[in-house]
Structure 1
Amino acid sequence: MVNDVFKLVLKRLGLGVLTLLVISVLIFFAVELLPGDIAQAVLGQSATPENLAALREQLGLNVPAPVRYFHWLTGAIQGDFGTSLITGDRVGSTIGPRLLNTLFLASYAAVIAVPAAILLGIFVALLRNTIFDRVANVLTLTAISSPEFFLGYILILYLAVKTGWFPAIASIGRNADFSTMLYNSFLPALTMVLVVMAHMMRMTRAAIINLLASPYIEMARLKGVPAWRVIVHHALPNAWAPIINVVALNLAYLITGVVLVEVVFVYPGVGQLLVDAVAKRDFPIVQACCLIFAATFILLNLAADVGAILTNPRLRHPK
């Protein structure tokens, strides 16, 4: 069994690496296809031909695009994404602190959303077809259908502007203590919680309700087992595979889908850095941010596949 799981994991990992390679090609050449001259965009209209020629040589724009892609990919594999066109700093040193801030925000939201969504999904499954179930479905559908920036502005209006309970701008300084970071980043974390918790709660509810019609569940009911025990001890263990999948995919969203949330709350994360880099046409940072987002999403998708394999015997033994 261990060998079968190991082979499946290696297969998924190989597909993930191949997918990341294709995405790196798309990222690099998408920047190449942007209209206009990169050197002209960086230096402005008043740049002299000598300055333009010097910058093109510095950026390697005189070298064919496939060669530049190979050099960029080789450096990215080694953790060297080049130099920022605006500040002249190394891209890795610029992204590093921002990435830590984004991971902090994603972890903050995940710690709240994952257990709350699973518990609420179990509770709603216990009370299905009741008023509570209908209200929960309406609220979760509303949260799923609402764009992140809209939820963010609503939270700012009611929890920051009208009540003043939380700051509208999530400023996190280098010397801020942990409690201050939790307080200042509560609204962006809550925005992300409202979106991902709705997905996970509905999947947990659907997975459990789908199993409630199984013969072994009916037998447990006929034996007089309480409803909560039937769900927790009989239905939930067999519903872990789809729940793990949706949790992993939503964790990927928490890291890769924070761009709008970080912009709304001016949160100093990778998403805000990406938007600023696009506005300033700082292409090395844009390429690095996109590649980091892609690698994170692929890695968490791989984790979802592995989790589904480990919790589902039919996937461990496909024959």
Structure 2
Amino acid sequence: MSGILPLIAKRLLLGLGTLFVVSLMIFGAVELLPGDLAQQVLGQGATEENVAQLRRQLGLDLPPHERYIGWLGGVLRGDFGVSLANGRSVADQILPRFANTLFLAALAAAIAVPLALGLGILAALLRNTIFDRVSNAAGLVSISSPEFFLGYVLIVLLAVKTPLFPAISSVSADMELGERLYRSFLPALTMALVVTGYMMRMTRAAIINLLAAPYIEMARLKGASNARVVTRHALPNALAPIINVVALNLAYLITGVVLVEVVFVYPGIGQLLVDSVSRRDIPVVQACCLIFAATFILFNLIADLGAILSNPRLRHPK
């Protein structure tokens, strides 16, 4: 255990350093946007005095490095600023939207992870059979299909031609769990289809890669069945790459929901980001991008630590 704690501390420091660099990139990208933000907020009919007053209010008259330090200090205190569109606190707008996105990602993961692992194990057990070929082909189709295309296909099939689910996923915090699951099913299924194929193929490849190992041959020589060889010998040793793939795809489920939320008009942080970009609400855009980056870095850290904990050989330098 003493050898794991320094690794965890090192990964945490690397994650914080990466997040700091990403915050610089987000702030720098906003700085490179053309035009005067104060002028665009007030419109072309605004007087110079009003524009100058808004620039002072937004801190645009300060040097960029001072504005970045002020913005980063506010973020560390949990203060993302005030929305330019409605004057509300950015944090108050983001928190319920982010909770909706986490709910949608959790529902998609509950569908995708068991399905992908089960199909991957079955494909490894039934290697080179019709089931293996069909599942691989279906996985390639799902990987190659954009999220918005799958979303529109599901809307046509399950909401228009066969009205089983609503095409617009309008959910609220006071909604009952069953109703919320029902309204969130189509966007969750869309996201699950995108990641299931990739996780399934990686699970199959990880298990098949271990089937040629000497200890697998020994287990077969002892008379173990193919199913026992895969589930009791190959699968535990394939956990490291499988955990890595699952964690990275869970990160994608949270950070890659923008298009899906727009297609289904789902009130998540992705929809908020798109709306804020169209209104040029820079504080909200910065906060959404930083939250997406932090979430992706966190799940990458979890994937790294999961691989290390599941494989003792990765805990020591070679």
Q: Please report how far the alpha carbon of residue 173 of structure 1 lies from its aligned counterpart in structure 2 after TM superposition.
A: 2.5
Distance across 2 between alignment mates of 1:41 and 1:203: 48
Identity among equivalent pairs (%): 69
Q: Please report how far the alpha carbon of residue 52 of structure 1 lies from its aligned counterpart in structure 2 after TM superposition.
A: 0.9
Distance across 1 between alignment mates of 2:53 and 2:187: 43
Find the counterpart in structure 1 of residue 269 from structure 2.
270
Could you tell which deviates more after superposition, 231-240 or 172-181? 172-181
Mapped pair 1:243 → 2:247: no
Distance across 2 between alignment mates of 1:165 and 1:227: 40
Find the counterpart in structure 1 of residue 87 from structure 2.
88
Computed over aligned residues only, the root mean square deviation of the Cα atoms, in angstroms, reads 0.8
Find the counterpart in structure 1 of residue 61 from structure 2.
62
Q: Please report how far the alpha carbon of residue 154 of structure 1 lies from its aligned counterpart in structure 2 after TM superposition.
A: 0.5
User: What's the TM-score, normalizing by structure 1?
Assistant: 0.98
- C-alpha contact 2:170 2:183 (8 A) present in aligned 1: yes
Mapped pair 1:41 → 2:35: no
SS in 2 for 1:122: helix
Tell me which amino acid in the other structure corresponds to 1:27: I
Distance across 2 between alignment mates of 1:262 and 1:244: 26
SS in 2 for 1:3: coil
Find the counterpart in structure 2 of residue 212 from structure 1.
211
The equivalences for 1:176-215 within 5 A come to 176-215=175-214
Distance across 1 between alignment mates of 2:195 and 2:175: 27
Find the counterpart in structure 2 of residue 119 from structure 1.
118
- C-alpha contact 2:119 2:135 (8 A) present in aligned 1: no
Tell me which amino acid in the other structure corresponds to 2:200: M
Distance across 2 between alignment mates of 1:157 and 1:40: 43
Structure 1 segments (4+ residues) deviating >3 Å: none
SS in 1 for 2:238: helix
Could you tell which deviates more after superposition, 38-47 or 145-154? 38-47
Deviation track 1:240-293 (CA, whole Å, cap 9, x = no partner) reads 000000000000001001001000100000000000000000000000000000
Distance across 2 between alignment mates of 1:290 and 1:276: 13
Distance across 2 between alignment mates of 1:137 and 1:119: 13
Q: Please report how far the alpha carbon of residue 179 of structure 1 lies from its aligned counterpart in structure 2 after TM superposition.
A: 0.5
Find the counterpart in structure 1 of residue 149 from structure 2.
150
Tell me which amino acid in the other structure corresponds to 1:236: L
Deviation track 1:155-203 (CA, whole Å, cap 9, x = no partner) reads 0111111111111110002321101110001100000000111111111
- C-alpha contact 2:216 2:233 (8 A) present in aligned 1: yes
Tell me which amino acid in the other structure corresponds to 2:116: A
Distance across 2 between alignment mates of 1:25 and 1:224: 59
Tell me which amino acid in the other structure corresponds to 1:147: P
SS in 2 for 1:89: coil
Distance across 1 between alignment mates of 2:173 and 2:209: 48
Distance across 1 between alignment mates of 2:48 and 2:161: 54
Distance across 2 between alignment mates of 1:300 and 1:48: 48
- C-alpha contact 2:107 2:188 (8 A) present in aligned 1: yes
Mapped pair 1:103 → 2:137: no
The equivalences for 1:17-36 within 5 A come to 17-36=16-35
Tell me which amino acid in the other structure corresponds to 1:186: F
List alignment gaps of at least 5 residues for structure 1.
none
Find the counterpart in structure 1 of residue 253 from structure 2.
254
Q: Please report how far the alpha carbon of residue 35 of structure 1 lies from its aligned counterpart in structure 2 after TM superposition.
A: 0.3
Find the counterpart in structure 2 of residue 308 from structure 1.
307
Distance across 2 between alignment mates of 1:164 and 1:126: 37
Distance across 1 between alignment mates of 2:25 and 2:198: 29
Could you tell which deviates more after superposition, 287-296 or 108-117? 108-117
Find the counterpart in structure 1 of residue 159 from structure 2.
160
Q: Please report how far the alpha carbon of residue 9 of structure 1 lies from its aligned counterpart in structure 2 after TM superposition.
A: 1.2
Could you tell which deviates more after superposition, 110-119 or 18-27? 110-119
Distance across 2 between alignment mates of 1:128 and 1:134: 8
Distance across 2 between alignment mates of 1:196 and 1:34: 33
Q: Please report how far the alpha carbon of residue 119 of structure 1 lies from its aligned counterpart in structure 2 after TM superposition.
A: 1.1
Find the counterpart in structure 2 of residue 4 from structure 1.
3
Distance across 2 between alignment mates of 1:152 and 1:134: 25
Q: What is the aligned residue count?
A: 318
